[in-house]
Amino acid sequence: MILLRRTLALPEKPIAARLLLLLCLCLNAVPAFAAPDASPLTEESAVRLALSRASLADISKGGLSVAEGQANAAGTYDNPELAYVREELSGVSATVEETLSVSQRFDLGNRRGLREEAGQARVSGVRRQDEAARLAVAAEARERFYEVIFRQGRVAALAEWIERVQQAREMVLRREQRGDAAAYELRRIDRERVVADTWLASEQAGLERAGARLEALLDGGGSGASTRASGSLLPESKPMGLEALQAATASRPDLLALGFELEAADLEGRAAARWWIPDLRLEAGWKTADSGNQGRADGVLVGAAFELPLWDQASAMARVAAGASQAARGQRALLESELRAELAGLHAEAERLHEVATRFGEQSGAASSDLVRMATLGHAGGEFTLLELLDAYRGATDDALRALELALAARTARIELDRLSGSGLP
């Protein structure tokens, strides 16, 4: 990565030096805006690309197909049975009997229907689990997107610091040529420039890494994310009221999924409780008997059979269903309890961080601009020393970086708040 260093020979004319500086900054400092031929990457488009990945769709469709297949299997009727029997008796009264029959088993307790309903409830639960997974992916995409915006802002703030230091160097260089400045001042500025250049190089590396992490989540749809990402780091408004957020948590996908799991377990338990209702087996067919010299006889075969429920063969299934119901009920109660407490604290934090970041950005921006202007004019007039000028420049940079940190904290709190309330999907 090419950066301006002390060894770089700058033109003696201030205007030419400034033009060269701006050109180098444009080429080397990663800009905060996309190239003209690249469409901007917004938060909305980043989330959309992250959620539209083919691999994510495969996971969702595959899991849903498994749940639907299991539900269909649970509701499948027993196949009818076709039987053929031939009996031959030898001796004086030799006879040959043939029987052709069809039998069908019927579930009088509707256990099959209850298991099918349980399977369909689990299908609905899988859909809600997919929504919960998509909610987590959307939150991750937002976090990585705003990490890029944050790094862009830091690079821009440090590039502005370097430009100010270069302007100070030009003033000191002119004064040195007139004999009004010591060589120490020029060396002191060069040292400040080395520090600024090194810091900028480090931030550029951080921006490149943040861009790569965002591109990885977008599966190729976010090529050049470090330069294309565009958006406001600080949320435009405060979060919605706490009561509205708490009401929104009732429709959180993971809570709904636990509700469907509880419903499925209850249906399985009801099916297991009907173990004592026997299955009915009906049979119908045709029977023929050939008695040789005595002739041949044909007739209809009709039969019915019940399974005697002497032993409870569904006790294990009932225990499984009861345990699953108890676990789902406990998980839902625990999650609801944690959400109430965590949501209240996070809402207060998000509101407070938004207020602090907004106020600090407004106040520090104006104060830093005034200090830089006063220090620049004072140094040019001989009222302030070079160290006071550099201190003003560094202070303005520190304020800009601190404002970005506060804005990122406010944005992160807002993303987490949306995730907790279940309102983070587009």
Which residue type occupies 305? A
Q: What gap in Å lies between CA 284 and CA 299, rounded to an integer?
A: 11
Say if residues 133 and 57 touch (Cβ distance below 8 Å).
no
Q: Which residue, 393, 17, 390, is CA-closest to 184?
A: 390
Spell out the domain ranges in the chain: 14-75+107-275+312-421, 78-106+277-311
- Report in angstroms the alpha-carbon separations of 261 from 9, 117, 268, 314, 325: 72, 12, 11, 20, 8
pLDDT of residue 92: 64
CA distances to 86, 98, 289, 293 from 92, in Å: 19, 19, 15, 11
Contact criterion met (CB below 8 Å) for 298 and 252: no
Residues, the chain? 426
Give pLDDT tens digits for 252-296: 999 999 999 999 999 999 999 988 888 899 999 998 988 777 778
H-run or E-run covering 104: strand 95-106
CATH 3.20.20.70 fits 14-75+107-275+312-421, yes or no: no
SS3 at position 257? helix
C-alpha–C-alpha distance, residues 153 and 226, integer Å: 11
Q: What is the DSSP string of 258-308?
A: HHHHHHHHHHHHHHHHTTTSPPEEEEEEEEEEE-GGG-EEEEEEEEEEE--
8 A C-beta contact, residue 254 and residue 108: no
pTM here?
0.80
Nearest by Cα to 378 from 364, 368, 392: 392
> Which residues in the chain land under pLDDT 50?
1-37
> Which of 211-215's residues contact partners 24+ apart within 8 Å by CB, and which partners?
211/148, 211/151, 213/144, 213/147, 214/46, 214/141, 214/144, 214/145, 214/147, 214/148
CA-to-CA distance for 393 and 162, rounded, in angstroms? Answer: 9
Distance CA 162, CA 266 (A): 68
CA distance readout (Å), 128 to 63, 253, 264? 12, 5, 14
pLDDT of residue 376: 80
